[in-house]
Amino acid sequence: MEKRAVFRAGSLAYLLILPQLLLVFVFFYWPTGAALYWAFTLEMPWGGGNQWVGLENFSAVLNDAKYWSSVAASCVFAFAATALALAQALVLALFVDRQLRGSKSFRSFYVWPYAVAAPAVSLAFRFIFAPETGLVAFVNQWWPGLWNPSINGAQAMTLVVLCFAWKWIGYNFIFLLAALQSIPRALTEASAMDGAGPLRRMLDIQLPLLTPTFFFLLVINLTESFVGADSFGIVDILTEGGPANATNLLVYKIYSDGFKGLDYSGAAAQSIILMLLVMVLTFIQFRWVERRVHYK
């Protein structure tokens, strides 16, 4: 790990790293510290300063039924979106990796959802799945009111999940294909010689060797769908947390409580809880990344 030929450490070493440390301190550590401070205090009205309230903010958050419905919505969203995004990408990667003629041109299309902005694709999804126009509207013609995500919470959730899963196909595909391509050809050739067809090789050779990458992506997708930027953008454009809070994900609730409800302490307490969740997920990821199988 360590480099042998290092330069003599002088002030230059500190000077080089200073900009990054300053940025990280001002825009990461200080705000995180402020969140902790706010979570345990309550701002007094009319500028009376902050009063220490211990765990009161947390108990207020945890005793709020709306918070738990938001937790439930977030869990449904995160697991459904992750499952769908990974499943689609996995199937595509497995088949593209067969490297038939023309696979390469398919490949470059599968990558592009990565580059498309989540709010832009949300706008497109809002049109495609609008109840009165677009692609799905015809079902309302032969059964009025069958599809309306602006009233039906379950349908709104489906829509949000579909949008996230679409956006994350690209990212997952890139990683899964890279992992597939690093599987030694000798392995596949040997099993082909033993009479295994392509489907059998997928199930018995490629899938087991993909597990490390797959678990890595599982954690990344879960983290992203719980706290990521895309979840926020998708919800804000598609549903704004509605109808009746059916898609009010945790990351959206922090924003609306903090900036629309101006409840800084409550939002900070929610932030701390989410931070803990992300830490747990990251910890799990490290366990998996450490155990990664190296097949080079």
> In the range 134-173, which residues lie near other proteins by CB under 8 A?
134-135, 137-138, 141, 166, 169-171
Q: Are 140 and 148 in contact (CB under 8 A)?
A: yes
Verify binding: residue 38, other proteins, rule CB under 8 A: yes
The binder of other proteins chosen from 17, 146, 244, 293 (CB under 8 A): 17
Verify binding: residue 274, other proteins, rule CB under 8 A: yes
Listed ranges 61-69, 71-79, 203-211, 215-223: which one lies at the site for other proteins (CB under 8 A): 215-223
Listed ranges 61-69, 72-80, 152-160, 255-263: which one lies at the site for other proteins (CB under 8 A): 255-263
The binder of other proteins chosen from 24, 55, 146, 293 (CB under 8 A): 24
Residue 278 Cβ vs other proteins, minimum distance, rounded to whole Å: 6
> In the range 218-237, which residues lie near other proteins by CB under 8 A?
220, 223, 227-229, 232-233, 236-237
Residue 62 Cβ vs other proteins, minimum distance, rounded to whole Å: 18
20: its two tokens: 């990054």
Interstrand relation of 50-52 and 41-43 (parallel, antiparallel or unpaired): antiparallel
The region that residue 47 occupies, defined by phi over 0 for left and psi between -120 and 50 for alpha, beta otherwise, is left
- The DSSP bridge partners found for residue 51 are 42
Verify binding: residue 296, other proteins, rule CB under 8 A: no
Cis peptide before 243 (omega within 30 of 0): yes
